[in-house]
Homo-oligomer: A and B are copies of this chain.
Amino acid sequence: MTAHRTTTAKDVAAVAGVHPSTVSRSLDPLRASLVREETRQRVIAAANELNYRPDLIASGLRRQRTHTIGVLVPDLGNPVFAEFTGGINRRLERADYTAILLETQNQHERFQTGARLLSERRVDGIISGATRAGDRRTLRQLVQSGIPVVMAMRWIRGLEIPIVANDDLRGGALAAEHLISLGHRRLAQLHGADDIETFRERGIGFHGTLARAGIDDADQVRYAKLQTAAEARKLMRALLQACDEPPTGIFAHNDLMAVGAIEALKEQSLRCPEDVSVIGFNDMPLTEHLAPPLTTIRMPTAEIGRVAAETVLSMIDGASSPAVTISLQPRLVVRGSTAPPRR
């Protein structure tokens, strides 16, 4: 193997017969006009000849800009977050920014080390898509260190940090309205983890809409630690055992939980949607191909990513951190897992 030294601006300068700073100017679109056209052409020719790639690390050190955004997500295996990061990536790309994606696995310790890593890498901004109740201090420290931070998808209250998220209150309400309008009165929730505001909002939105219709689901809410099919199945079993008459409508806080619920129903020879209607959340891939195809709430996930990126970029440019909340609207996707209750 040849000992490799990457070509630098100095090398290009030597070939073009100019000073390194002229190389720098010629190659930066913003300052190219400062250079005589003829000189610039010579530099570009030399750069191409040597296959020169400016060192963004060195440039970043000098400019105090890394053109990098740190993104914290709970888990890339979750298709919702894959879509979210897709939205971020597409927006950042247009601005010549790159994302560093870190998975927290819903663990505060990983959130914390992730945050530390990102500040050591001097990212220009951070999008926290994995925020949970326990992360408050860490987020406050980030803000205090002067780095622009945005909470997206998941968020907590009482921080001076912009929020870009789905309107989960509305999402829960949509689910309730749908089931009520079908004629359901005995309703239950398979509730996501209690320390994630997203799920609390979904729960409140659902509960509130029920209350306004004179329905109470207070005894019929079961909380999951992890929003998996397996855990939902257990919760659903317990729910069925605990009540004389099973509910006729179930709101599961995500699609995997809805799937688990339907399986638990099958175990008890209850059919979906004939005996019990089930509605999920997220509209993840393949849900339309399930039996029955899942009725669910779809949120504008990629759009949330896009707007979150936009927001953090504007904070990097503009001075002030607008402590705003941007709510994007979810919508109901009706498929086969919900139907009117049996007479």
**Hey, which bits of chain A sit against chain B, CB under 8 A?**
1-2, 4, 6, 51, 53-58, 60-61, 66, 76-77, 79, 82-83, 85-86, 89, 98-103, 116-117, 119-122, 141, 145-146, 229, 256, 259, 263, 284-287, 289-291, 319-321
Contacts and interface: CB of A to CB of B under 8 A. Distances in A.
B119 A259 contact: no
Quick one: which of A60, A229, A286, A319 has the most chain B CB within 10 A?
Answer: A286
Contact of A263 (B58, B61, B99, B289): B289
B101 A6 contact: no
Nearest to A98: B100
B121 A98 contact: yes
Contacts of A61: 55, 57-58, 61
B289 A259 contact: yes
Given A77-B82, A286-B287, 9 more contacts: A1-B320, A79-B82, A82-B82, A89-B102, A89-B103, A99-B100, A263-B289, A284-B285, A290-B291
A146 to B, nearest CB: 3
Interface of A is mostly: mixed
18 contacts: A1-B146, A4-B145, A6-B122, A6-B145, A6-B146, A55-B120, A57-B60, A57-B122, A61-B61, A77-B79, A77-B83, A77-B86, A79-B79, A89-B103, A98-B117, A100-B100, A284-B285, A285-B286
A76 B82 contact: yes
Contact of A120 (B2, B56, B320): B56
B286 A122 contact: no
A4 B55 CA distance: 25
Nearest to A259: B289
Contacts of A321: 1
A79 B263 CA distance: 23
Nearest to A78: B82
Contacts of A119: 53
A1 B57 contact: no
